[in-house]
Chain A
Amino acid sequence: MDPSRKRRIRLTVALTAALLLASALVYTSFSAGEDVVTTSQLLKQAKPGETYILGGTVVSDQHDGSVLMFRVRDPKLDESVPIRYKGLVPDPFAVGRGILVTVQDQGGQFVGQPGSLTTKCPSKFQDANAKAA
C-alpha cells in the first residue's frame, strides 16, 4: 500500500478513536454528574423523598448520641439549613469548613446519607481558618 495512504488511514483511525472517546466522556460526565446545590437552592427546590448533594460551610454542629446535627450555610448568602446525619464523620469535619453531603428531604427535615459526608483536605485549611478568625 502507498505509504502516504497508509498514514492517512492510521490518522483517520486514531482521530475517530479520539472522537469516540471524547464523545463518550462528554456524554457520560454530563449524564453521571449530579447537581451540587447551595443552601438557598436546596430550600427552593427540595421535594419530599428526593436526594440532593449539598455544598456549603458548616456553621454549627452538635452531637446527640450517635446523631450529628449541623447547619450548612450558603457561601454567598446568609441562609443556612439544619442537617441530621448518622454515620462516620470525617476527622476534618469542623465548624467553618466546607463540606459536601448527600441529603434527603424527609418531610421538611434534611437527613444526610451515611458515608456521604466529605470535607476539604486538611492541608488546605490554614488560610480558611485564618480568614474565618
Chain B
Amino acid sequence: MAEARLPTARVRAAHLERLRSLTEAQGVSGDEGAVRKLVQAAIEGQADTVRTDSMGNLLVTRKGAGRARLRVLCAAHMDEVGLMVTAIDNEGYLRVEAVGGLDVDTLPGKLIWVGADRVAGVIGAKPVHLTKDDEDRRTISIDSIRIDIGAGSKDAAQSRVRVGDRATFATHFERLGRTIRAKALDDRLGVATLIELVLNPPAGIELLAAFTVQEEVGLRGARVAAYSLDPDLALALDCTPARDLPSWDGSENTSYNARLNAGPALYVSDGSTLSDPRLVRHFEETADEHRIRYQIRQPGGGGTDAGAIHLTREGIPSLSISVPARYLHSPASIASLADWRATVRLVYAGLSRLPGRWKRSR
C-alpha cells in the first residue's frame, strides 16, 4: 500500500473561508437546505454520485485511488440546535420552542436571526436593576421566552416572519489566533472535515459521505442514510464538548468529557454506542504511527449519528471521532484549529489503511 499523503496540518485561508460560510449558515434541524447548498457547491464536479434523499440527507460517493476494498460510511450532520417560531403575540413578539438541546436559562439577551431572510431580533431580558429579590435565581422556562424583532404589532411581525420559521444565534465567525469562535461548530467542523475527504478521498475505499439531517433531534437522518448506503463500516464525524475548565473550588475536574488542544477525541462508549473495539484500536495505532495527538473521549452519556448507524440492518461496526469544542449548543463555541486539522489528518490516515478483511459478507 502506498504511503498516504496526509492533508496539511496548516490552516489555509480557504479553510477559514469555508468554516466561516458553514458556521454562519442557518441549519436548524429539519431546515438544513442552506448548509446543503454550501456543501453541494464545495464538492461540485468532484464526486462520483451526489443525491439528496427523502429526508434531506446529502449522500455523496467517491472512490479513492486503487481497488475499493471497503465501502465506508462517513457521516457528519448539517443541522444545528436552535429555535422555532410557534406563535406571534398580538404585540408582535415571537414565541418559540427549542429545537434540540438548548440551555434555556442562557437565552435571554441573545441576538437572533429569524428565518431564511435573517430578520434580526433579540431575546428579551428584564434589566437587572429592575429585577426583584430572588427573581434572578429562578430558572427560565421556554414558554416565557420571546424574540423581539422590533415589529411593534402582530401585523408588522407577520409581514416578516411566519410560524414554523427557524431561528439561530446571530453569531459571526471569528478567528482568535489559534482558535475559532462561531455558532454551530457542532457539527459544521465535521461537515468541513467530510468535504475535505470528498475532495481528496482516501485510497483503497469507496467513501460514502453522508451529510445528515436532524441529528440534534434524535439521529434521524443518519438512520435512513445508513440503511440506503448499507456500508461495511462507519465513522461519525462530530464535535464533542470540552469541559476541561478548572473547578470553582479547586478540586480535580474528573468529568471534563474532552479537552481542548488534546487532539481528536475517539469514542469508546457513549449513551448510544459502544464503538467497535477494532476500529478504536485501528485509529489509535494510526495516530501513534503518524504522531498525531489524540484523546479518548470520557465514556459517558450523549450520542452521535453512530448511535443510529450501528444498529442499521444486521449491524454496522462504527466509531465516532469528534473535534473537541467549548460551550457547544450555545451562541458561541470555541474550537482549536490544531485539533480540527489533526482530526482531518487522523481520519484520512486511518481510512487509507483499513484492512480489507473487514469487508462484510453479504
A associates with B = no
Residue numbers of B with Cβ under 8 A of A are: none
